[in-house]
Structure 1
Amino acid sequence: MKKNITWILGVLLLLLVLVLVRTFNPNLFKRNVSEALATPSEVTVSVQELNGLQDSCLIVELDAENQRFPNSLAIPFNQLLQKENKEKLSSLDGKILLYSADISTSSKAWVILNQLEFEGLYILSDEENPEELKYKFQPDTTIRLE
């Protein structure tokens, strides 16, 4: 009887430890999906609009080896969640413009930082309208109905 109670208490203790580790994880996403989807649709700023911004902003370049903008902060994408880099980002005032030569990298960084409750995040894009479809739709011709 004591052996069974010991096993049950051991399993419950293990579950409690796992719940506590998950709860106090600093990289745990804090916003739910509805809040992330309720953000403004205008999260992209083009390089052409950069000079017209009246608010203070800082560009965070995610491609550290190819810095394009002067006075920008270089944080490689794979080091974005390191403690010192998160502290740098949280201490910034104004808009944070995330830039990478590949807009998908900037988008991934935006999603991650948005879920970690960073405010004032924008994606800096080389293109005026990066979401515009640029290719003509062509159906798949490899499979033909007989």
Structure 2
Amino acid sequence: MNKNIQWILGVLLLLLVLVLVRTFNSNLFKSNVNEALTTTNEVTISVQKLNELNEEYFIVEFDAENQRFPNALVIPFDQLLQKENKEKLESLEGKILLYSGNIATSSKAWVILNQLEFDGVFILSDEENPEELKYEFQPDTTIRLE
């Protein structure tokens, strides 16, 4: 009887530890993904409009080899969530403009930082009229599994 109680208590203790580890994980997404992806706010700023910004801004680049902006903070995309890089981003005041030669990389970083509740994060685009990033998912209806 005591062994059964010990097993049950052991399993409950393990579950409690797993819940606590998950709860205090600093990389968990805190906001609703659907809200982030369907936001009506403009999330892109073109390079041509940088001079028109009246607010303080910081450019974060993800490609150190082909750095375009000399004063940009360079963070490799695969190291975005490292503690030291998150602390650097948290210390920035003003808009954070994410730039990469590939807009898909900037978009991924925008979603990640948005979900981690960073405010004032925008995608810096090379195009004058950046592509809308508001596509609705549409499943492929040409194939039906029946």
**TM-score, with normalisation over the residues of structure 1?**
0.85
**1:38-80 CA-partner distances (Å, limit 9, x unpaired):** 6343100011111111111110001122110121111110111
Gapped runs of 5+ residues in structure 2? 133-146
Q: 3-state DSSP class of the match of 1:90? A: helix
**1:96-115 CA-partner distances (Å, limit 9, x unpaired):** 00000000000000000111
Q: Distance in 1 between matches of 2:81 and 2:56?
A: 24
Alignment of 1:52-131 (within 5 A): 52-131=52-131
> Are 2:99 and 2:123, in contact at CA under 8 Å, matched by a contact in 1?
yes
**1:85-142 CA-partner distances (Å, limit 9, x unpaired):** 111100001100000000000000000011111110000011123326xxxxxxxxxx
> Are 2:80 and 2:86, in contact at CA under 8 Å, matched by a contact in 1?
yes
Match of 1:50, as an amino acid?
A: L
Q: Distance in 1 between matches of 2:47 and 2:37?
A: 25
Match of 2:137 in 1: none
Are 2:16 and 1:16 equivalent residues in the alignment? yes
Q: Distance in 2 between matches of 1:40 and 1:94?
A: 20
Aligned-pair CA distance for 1:24 = 0.3
Q: Distance in 2 between matches of 1:78 and 1:37?
A: 22
Q: Distance in 2 between matches of 1:106 and 1:38?
A: 17
Q: Distance in 2 between matches of 1:112 and 1:37?
A: 11
Q: Which has the larger radius of gyration?
A: 1
Match of 2:142 in 1: none
**TM-score, with normalisation over the residues of structure 2?**
0.85
Identity of aligned residues (%): 79
Q: 3-state DSSP class of the match of 1:50? A: helix
Match of 2:122, as an amino acid?
A: Y
Q: 3-state DSSP class of the match of 2:123? A: strand
Q: Distance in 1 between matches of 2:38 and 2:107?
A: 16
Q: Distance in 1 between matches of 2:37 and 2:82?
A: 26
Match of 2:144 in 1: none
Please say which of residues 5-14 and 36-45 is displaced more in the overlay: 36-45
Q: 3-state DSSP class of the match of 2:4? A: helix
